[in-house]
Amino acid sequence: MSTTLKAEKLLTIRFSEVDSMNVVWHGTYPLYLEDAREYFGALYGLDYMTIYNNGYFAPIVELNIKYHKPLRYGMLPKVVITYRPTEAAKIVFDYEIIDTTTNEKTLTATSVQIFTDKNQILMWDNPTFYTEWKKAHNLI
């Protein structure tokens, strides 16, 4: 049986991230998702330096975002990031940004990362370190 790997990262909405209507600019949200990926990686041992030190890059090749409600300056949202297991040589995450005051979803998203070697050649098979990581977390 596989395990669900999930993390929650609290966000701080900075004044520099909002427009004149006090709404977070849509282009800021991918940065919030990046913060969640970094937090997840540090928590579960799948951080960018681990990937790099094993001889790989993990570029994002797909990012799908659905905006439900705006975030505004002063709100205290959190990103919930969930690892989606797959047999393919890729890393898939699902995200929700939740307003912690109302518990309403403000955004849902999915990202897909693939593996390349350091010459940017696509890896069709799971890198050994990634397979071992999946085994260590009861994902396979």
- Residues 132-139: what's their mean pLDDT? 95
138-139-140 Cα angle (round to 5): 95
| Confidence bin at 140 (pLDDT 50/70/90) | confident
Please tell me the CATH superfamily of domain 6-136, with its number: Hotdog Thioesterase (3.10.129.10)
CA 102, CA 81: separation in Å to the nearest integer?
Answer: 19
pLDDT > 90: percent of the chain: 96
Contact 114, 59 (CB under 8 A): yes
Domain extents in the chain = 6-136
What is the pLDDT, as a whole number, of residue 2? 62
Q: Which amino acid is at 133?
A: W
Q: Please check the confidence at residue 1 and state whether its pLDDT lies above 80.
A: no
For the stretch 76-113, pLDDT in tens is 999 999 999 999 999 999 999 999 999 999 999 999 99
For the stretch 18-46, pLDDT in tens is 999 999 999 999 999 999 999 999 999 99
pTM attached to this predicted model: 0.94
H or E, element range at 107: strand 105-114
